[in-house]
Structure 1
Amino acid sequence: MQQPAKFDILCIGSVLWDVIGRCSQDMRQGSDMPGRITRLPGGVAMNIAMTLVRFGLTPSVLTAIGRDPEGDELITACQRLGVTTGMAYRSDDLPTDRYMAVEGANGLIAAIADAHSLEAAGDKILRPLTDGTLGSARAPFAGPIALDGNLTLTLLDDIARHPAFARADLRVAPASPGKAERLRPFLSASHGTLYVNLEEAGYLCQSTFTSSHTAAIAMIDRGAARVLVTDGGASATEARTGADPITLIPPRVQVARVTGAGDTFMAAHIAADLGGASRHDALKAALHAAATYVSGEPPL
C-alpha cells in the first residue's frame, strides 16, 4: 500500500472553485455594478486548509474532485498552495464542485454552493480512515480532523458515532447557516469541537440568542462537548463541559471582505490550540486572525 504524504491535520469536506464577484460600493438585490471577479480554490475544508498552511501546518484534504479539466486544475492549485491531495477521491462521473458569491461594501449579497458531487460521493471520501491507510474501526485515527458541514446528515451522523473516529480530535463547522442542523449528531454524541456563529447556534438549538455567551452555554447544555460561538464584531465565546465559558470582544476593523472569515477564525484557533496555547490565548489569536482577514490583510 502506498504511504500517504506527511501531514499535520486532515481537512474533510468541500474543496471546489470559488467564483467571487466583489464591488467596492454598497449593493442591494438587483444591483448591476462594476467590480472584480476572481476564481480561486475554495470550499470550507479548503479555506481552512489554506489558512492552516499560513500558520505553518501541512493539511491533507479528504474530498471529492472530478476527473475533469476543472478538477485537474484544482488539484494543481491545491498542491501549489501547500495542501496535499493524494488521498482525495477522484470521480470519473461527478463534476468538480463550485461556489459562487457576490459581495458589496455592505457585505455578502448572495451566494450559491454547488456541492452536489461531494454529497453524491458519500463515504467514499472517508476510505483512508476506514480501510487501514490512516486508520480503521479497530485502530482509529488519533490526529486532528477539521470537518465541514457540506457532507450529508447521514454521513455526519456516521462520523459522530463510527468507531474509526472515536479517538480523532474532531473540529466541526457548518458550511452555512442553512446546513447548521446537520451538526446535531455531534451534540447528541458529545463528540468534537463545534465552530458556529450566533445564527447557526440558533438553528442547532431551535432557539434565538442575543449573545455568543448564552448561545455557547445552551449548546453545552444540549450535549456539546466543546463549542466556539462567534457573533460578528460583538463577541466570541469558547465553552466546554466542566469549565467556565470564556468570552472575548474582537478587535474593531474596517470590513473589506466577508467570505472566508469564519474559516480563518476556525483555522487560527486550531493552529493555536495544537500549538499548546491556553483557552484564552487560542481564542484571542483566532479573533485577531479573523479581524485581520476581514480588514483585507493576510491573517498573519
Structure 2
Amino acid sequence: MSRDILVAGETLVDFLPASAGPLATVESFTRRPGGAPANVAVGLARLNRTPWFWTRVGADPFGDTLVETLADAGLPDRFVERDPTAKTTLAFVEHDVDADRAFTFYRENTADTRLQPGTVPDETLASVAWVAVGGVTLATDPARAATFDLVARAREQDATIVFDPNARPELWGDDFPAVVSRLLRDVDVLKATSTDLAAAGFDTDRDPESLATAVHETGPHTLLLTRGEQGAVASATAAAPWGPAMVSHDGYSVDPVDATGAGDAFTAGALAALADGDSLADTLAFANAVAAVTTTGAGAMTALPDRDAVQRFRANQ
C-alpha cells in the first residue's frame, strides 16, 4: 500500500494516576500506550491517513503490549523495531486539578534512545511526501544522530518536514536550544507551544506575529502555535504551499478529563488536514477539534478519535 507520511520516534508506556496531585501521594496507576510520535501515528491512522511508523521498543512485556497496540491500530510493522537488550521507556504522569500534566520518565539507555541512522531506506523516503519527528529522540545519541540523518535524507527527497519539539526538561541538559536550532534549519512546519519555544530560546513575551517572524527566520515556513484553551495560531510565509497567511482559531469548549496527548492529537489532525490540501484556517479548525475530543477521554493514544467522531463533534458546536 502506498503511504505518503512517515512518523518517527518513541513509543512508551504512560502510567496515569488514579487521582490528581503529586506522584508521591498517588497510590495506583492505569497503564496506557503513549509517546508523542506514536500518538501522532495512531491518530493519523484513525483519521484514515495511516503512515509508516519508525520506532523501537524493548523485547520485554511492555514492548509486547505496545507492538500489539500499534498493530491493532493498523500501523504497518516494517519499521517497528524490537531491541533485544534494552527496556521499553516508562513515563509516570502527574495531573493537577485542571487536568494539566507533568511527566517523570524512566528512559536511561532504553530502546527508543537506540534508534540507528540509516534504518529507513532512501527508497522509502522517496515515496513519502511528509516526515514528522519529535524532540524526545533528540535528547540522546544515537537516537539524536538517527533523527538528524532521517531529516537530512528526507529533505534530499523533497519531503515536507514536520517537527514538534515537545520540550521535556527532565530529559535534557543545557543543549536543547542548540539542538533544536540546528534541526529547525531543515524543518518546514513547526508545531509548538509557547513553553516549547521558550525552552528553545525564543522570546515568547512578544505578540504572536512577531514570534512567528522570529521562528520563520530560523527555517520553518509554517508555525502552528497551540495555546491550550485559547485555541491555536498559525503563520506561514510565501514559501509555504498554503501561504502567506496568519490565522487563528479560538478552539472548542469541552469538559476535559485528561489533557495527555492533546498536543499530539492536534499534530495528527493538522498533518492529516495539510496532507489533504486544506487551507491553513481549515487545518486549525480541524486540528483543534481532534485535540478537543481527545481531552474528553483518559489516556493519550486511547482517547484519539476517528474522523467520524471529529465530524460529529464539529457538527454539534
Q: Which runs of 5+ in 2 are unaligned?
A: 239-243, 298-302, 311-317
Amino acid of the structure 1 residue aligned with 2:215: M
Q: 2:131, 2:148 → 1: CA distance?
A: 15
RMSD: 2.7
> Partner of 2:264 in structure 1?
263
Partner of residue 173 from structure 1, selected from 155, 159, 164: 164
Q: Percent identity?
A: 22
Greater Cα offset, 193-202 or 70-79:
70-79
> Partner of 1:284 in structure 2?
285
1:213-252 → structure 2 map (5 Å cutoff): 213-242=209-238, 243-252=244-253
TM-score (normalised: structure 2): 0.79
Change beyond 3 A, Cα 1:253–1:210: farther
Partner of residue 135 from structure 2, selected from 149, 152, 160: 149
Partner of residue 16 from structure 2, selected from 14, 20, 26: 20
Q: 2:206, 2:228 → 1: CA distance?
A: 12
> Partner of 1:198 in structure 2?
194
Q: 2:154, 2:273 → 1: CA distance?
A: 27
1:95-114 → structure 2 map (5 Å cutoff): 95-114=87-106
Amino acid of the structure 1 residue aligned with 2:14: D
Can you list the C-alpha shifts for 1:86-134, whole angstroms capped at 9, x where unaligned? 222322111122222122432335312334424541325x41234x4x2
Q: 2:36, 2:156 → 1: CA distance?
A: 20
Amino acid of the structure 2 residue aligned with 1:63: T
Change beyond 3 A, Cα 1:19–1:285: same
Greater Cα offset, 141-150 or 257-266:
141-150
**Shift in Å at residue 213 of structure 1?**
4.1
**Shift in Å at residue 212 of structure 1?**
4.2
Q: Please state if 1:188 is matched with 2:180.
A: no
Query: 1:209 is paired with a residue of what secondary structure?
Result: coil
Q: 1:249, 1:32 → 2: CA distance?
A: 35
Amino acid of the structure 1 residue aligned with 2:196: E
Greater Cα offset, 241-250 or 109-118:
109-118
Change beyond 3 A, Cα 1:122–1:221: same
**Shift in Å at residue 57 of structure 1?**
1.9
Q: 2:288, 2:246 → 1: CA distance?
A: 16
> Partner of 1:93 in structure 2?
85
Change beyond 3 A, Cα 1:29–1:113: closer
Query: 2:270 is paired with a residue of what secondary structure?
Result: helix
Change beyond 3 A, Cα 1:129–1:213: farther
> Partner of 1:207 in structure 2?
203
Q: 1:273, 1:10 → 2: CA distance?
A: 14
Q: 2:92, 2:161 → 1: CA distance?
A: 28
> Partner of 1:272 in structure 2?
273
Q: 2:80, 2:304 → 1: CA distance?
A: 27
Change beyond 3 A, Cα 1:68–1:22: same
Query: 1:245 is paired with a residue of what secondary structure?
Result: strand
Q: 2:23, 2:47 → 1: CA distance?
A: 39
Q: 1:81, 1:94 → 2: CA distance?
A: 24
Amino acid of the structure 2 residue aligned with 1:88: V
Change beyond 3 A, Cα 1:22–1:184: farther
Residues 64, 121 of structure 1: 8 Å contact kept:
yes
> Partner of 2:152 in structure 1?
161
Amino acid of the structure 1 residue aligned with 2:248: T
> Partner of 1:122 in structure 2?
115
Residues 53, 75 of structure 2: 8 Å contact kept:
yes
Residues 95, 102 of structure 2: 8 Å contact kept:
yes
Can you list the C-alpha shifts for 1:119-152, whole angstroms capped at 9, x where unaligned? 541325x41234x4x24xxxx4542222111212
Q: 1:32, 1:42 → 2: CA distance?
A: 23
Change beyond 3 A, Cα 1:85–1:165: farther
Can you list the C-alpha shifts for 1:160-201, whole angstroms capped at 9, x where unaligned? 434665412221112335366343223333x32111001112
Greater relative CO, 1 or 2 (CA 8 Å, sep 6+): 2
Q: 1:120, 1:33 → 2: CA distance?
A: 28
Greater Cα offset, 105-114 or 265-274:
105-114
Change beyond 3 A, Cα 1:98–1:60: farther
Residues 146, 171 of structure 1: 8 Å contact kept:
yes
Residues 202, 209 of structure 1: 8 Å contact kept:
no
